[in-house]
């Protein structure tokens, strides 16, 4: 079983993750892992925090001479901007953020006690976990990538940039739409036999756990609401060379909660960033008087970065489902199981 847990506050000492269940014998490329962290920092419209942080992961445990041992991997990313105890308290919750409900739920009187953990800074170590999973999936020819499709209603790349510039000028923010594609996934990951084994449910659950992701669709997604069945289902063909194949992929690579061998295609909608330079109405949680919401350093747009986080989430969920299907404590054992199954499909 593959599992992970993260810890760390946005302006705390560091962000850490423990990833357990990776088989022994996987070569870890730390340079490639850190390229993923760098990718998460990029994208037009990122705020000043990303200019301060130099995200570089260290591997604390679970690896010897570059190979996984099968024991838990400890992943560590230092926060350069570490001043959690010196930050002044905030009492004016930002609409769209965890601030208000977090204070009510945990009994905090300083919003920072909530936002330090609710912040998407946490995703830096999720990307580190995902990068290890990506390297595992690469061993089996599975490649995961993302692409920004829309920003604030604009699909054209240069118009997307203009929207972000407009938002920045107006002290406003942008959301958008991105896709994540996983190619090379064998048929049969996940299962229809139990609700919690459906690959679509697991991927959607993982993707919805990314802060600010508000909608997920597989393949044709909301388009299914418009068309007749005869024009949307992917007809099945067979040839000796290819085996079973489809000419279309409206299903987005998943049927019956299982990968069907076609690329997995999922689209995610991200809401505009909740922190606004020109803040919305709010209420001071100590005085209960109307006030404008707090303003923290913020990204005008983080859709591209969210795509990188989503790649990591998809990689983790696919690696987990892959290990359930092909089980094994060493990479060689997983490879044997994988090859044996792939032979039965021919
Ligand atoms: C990569 C990334 C960067 C983000 N940057 C910011 C930010 O700078 N300011 C902000 O208010 N929200 C940011 N968010 C979104 C908030 O973390 C999120 O809206 C908030 O935690 C509330 O959760 P919810 O939107 O899922 O309800 C970011 C999200 C992601 C994925």
Residues flanking ligand 1, CB < 6 Å: 47, 97-98, 118-120, 123, 210-212, 271, 273-275, 298-299, 302, 305-306, 309
Q: How big is the chain, counted in residues?
A: 346
Average pLDDT over residues 205-223: 98
In the three-class reduction of DSSP (H, G, I as helix; E, B as strand; rest coil), residue 193 is classed as coil
- d(CA 97, ligand 1 centre) in Å: 7
| Residue 51, pLDDT above cutoff 90 | no
274 CA closest ligand 1 atom index: 11
- d(CA 204, ligand 1 centre) in Å: 18
Pocket of ligand 1, candidates 92, 98, 302: which has the most ligand atoms within 8 Å of its Cβ, to mutate? 302
Burial category of 162 from C-beta neighbours within 10 Å (exposed 0-12, middle 13-18, buried 19 and up):
middle
| Residue 49, pLDDT above cutoff 80 | no
- d(CA 273, ligand 1 centre) in Å: 6
- d(CA 100, ligand 1 centre) in Å: 15
**For residue 250, what pLDDT band results from cuts at 50, 70 and 90?**
very high
Burial category of 3 from C-beta neighbours within 10 Å (exposed 0-12, middle 13-18, buried 19 and up):
exposed
Quickly name the fold that domain 3-345 has. Chorismate synthase, AroC fold (3.60.150)
**For residue 53, what pLDDT band results from cuts at 50, 70 and 90?**
confident
**For residue 269, what pLDDT band results from cuts at 50, 70 and 90?**
very high
| Residue 129, pLDDT above cutoff 90 | yes
How many CA atoms lie within 13 Å of 216's alpha carbon, on the beta-carbon side? 22
User: Which has the closest alpha carbon to 313: 182, 185, 176, 174?
Assistant: 182
**For residue 273, what pLDDT band results from cuts at 50, 70 and 90?**
very high
CA distance 97 to 169: 22
- d(CA 233, ligand 1 centre) in Å: 36
Going by alpha carbons, the residue nearest to atom 12 of ligand 1 is 273
In the three-class reduction of DSSP (H, G, I as helix; E, B as strand; rest coil), residue 276 is classed as coil
**For residue 346, what pLDDT band results from cuts at 50, 70 and 90?**
confident
pTM given for the model: 0.97
Q: What are 185-211's pLDDT values in tens digits?
A: 999 999 999 999 999 999 999 999 999
- d(CA 180, ligand 1 centre) in Å: 19
Average pLDDT over residues 280-308: 97
Going by alpha carbons, the residue nearest to atom 30 of ligand 1 is 120
User: Which has the closest alpha carbon to 68: 127, 8, 28?
Assistant: 28
End-to-end, the C-alpha distance of the chain in Å comes to 28
- Distances in Å between the Cα of 192 and the Cα atoms of 242, 252, 254, 258 are 25, 16, 11, 7
Q: What are 315-330's pLDDT values in tens digits?
A: 999 999 999 999 999 9
Contact 145, 181 (CB under 8 A): yes
- d(CA 121, ligand 1 centre) in Å: 9
Percent of the chain with pLDDT over 70: 100
Pocket of ligand 1, candidates 37, 94, 119, 212: which has the most ligand atoms within 8 Å of its Cβ, to mutate? 212
Q: What number of other Cβ atoms are within 10 A of residue 60's Cβ? A: 14
Average pLDDT over residues 181-187: 98
Burial category of 89 from C-beta neighbours within 10 Å (exposed 0-12, middle 13-18, buried 19 and up):
exposed
Average pLDDT over residues 85-98: 96
**For residue 89, what pLDDT band results from cuts at 50, 70 and 90?**
very high
Beta strands 143-151; 176-183: pairing state: antiparallel
Average pLDDT over residues 140-147: 98
| Average pLDDT across the chain, whole number | 97
299 CA closest ligand 1 atom index: 8
| Residue 112, pLDDT above cutoff 90 | yes
- Distances in Å between the Cα of 274 and the Cα atoms of 16, 174, 216 are 25, 9, 19
| Residue 68, pLDDT above cutoff 80 | yes
CA distance 247 to 262: 10
CA distance 19 to 33: 14
| Residue 17, pLDDT above cutoff 80 | yes
């Amino acid at each position: 079983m593959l599992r992970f847990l993260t810890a760390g506050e946005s302006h705390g000492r560091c962000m850490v993750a423990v990833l357990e269940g990776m088989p022994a014998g996987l070569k870890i490329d730390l340079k490639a892992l850190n390229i993923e962290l760098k990718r998460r920092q990029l994208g037009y419209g990122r705020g000043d925090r990303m200019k301060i942080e130099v995200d570089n992961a260290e591997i604390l445990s679970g690896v010897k001479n570059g190979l996984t041992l099968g024991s838990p991997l400890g992943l560590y990313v230092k926060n350069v901007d570490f001043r959690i105890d010196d930050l002044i308290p905030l009492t004016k919750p930002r609409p769209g953020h965890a601030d208000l409900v977090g204070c009510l739920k945990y009994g905090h009187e300083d919003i920072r006690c909530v936002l330090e953990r609710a912040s998407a800074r946490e995703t830096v170590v999720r990307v580190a976990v995902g990068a290890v999973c990506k390297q595992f999936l690469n061993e089996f020819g599975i490649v995961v990538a993302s692409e920004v499709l829309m920003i604030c209603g604009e699909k054209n790349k240069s118009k997307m940039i203009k929207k972000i510039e407009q938002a920045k000028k107006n002290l406003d923010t942008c959301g958008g739409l991105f896709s994540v594609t996983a190619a090379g996934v064998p048929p049969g990951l996940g299962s229809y036999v139990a609700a919690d084994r459906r690959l679509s449910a697991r991927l959607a659950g993982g993707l919805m756990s990314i802060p600010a992701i508000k909608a997920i669709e597989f393949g044709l997604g909301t388009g299914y609401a418009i068309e007749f069945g005869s024009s949307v289902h992917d007809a099945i063909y067979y040839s000796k060379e290819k085996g079973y194949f489809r000419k279309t992929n409206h299903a987005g690579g998943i049927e019956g909660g299982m990968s069907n061998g076609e690329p997995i295609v999922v689209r995610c909608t991200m809401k505009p960033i909740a922190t606004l330079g020109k803040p919305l109405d709010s209420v001071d949680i100590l005085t209960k008087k109307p006030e404008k919401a707090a303003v923290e350093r913020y990204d005008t747009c983080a859709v591209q970065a969210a795509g990188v986080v989503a790649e990591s989430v998809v990689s983790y969920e696919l690696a987990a489902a892959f290990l359930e299907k092909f089980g094994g404590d060493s990479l060689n054992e997983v490879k044997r199981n994988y090859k044996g199954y792939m032979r039965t499909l021919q």
